[in-house]
Amino acid sequence: MQLAEKYKHSSKAQEAAGIVKEMFKDELSPGVIRLRESKYYKPSFQMVECLRALKDLFKTG
């Protein structure tokens, strides 16, 4: 069973999905901009793939 399916009714998972949907919607979203501002961010970071994985994990589209 996938994590998204197993925890779809969990209030914590629903809250996390809402954060992903709002803050990591695309490369211009606040969460992504903040990540890029971080001293730990490196240009080699695969942002598009990361966003795709978050959306898949939390089934946000």
Q: Select the more confidently predicted residue: 54 or 8.
A: 54
Read off the tokens for 53.
Answer: 């994985």
Distance in angstroms (rounded) separating the CA atoms of residues 7 and 49:
23
- CA–CA distance from 38 to each of 1, 34, 41, 54 (Å)? 35, 6, 5, 19
Q: How many CB atoms lie within 10 A of CB 24?
A: 21
Contact 54, 20 (CB under 8 A): yes
Give 10-54 pLDDT, tens digit per residue: 899 889 989 999 999 999 999 999 999 999 999 899 999 999 999
pTM of this prediction?
0.75
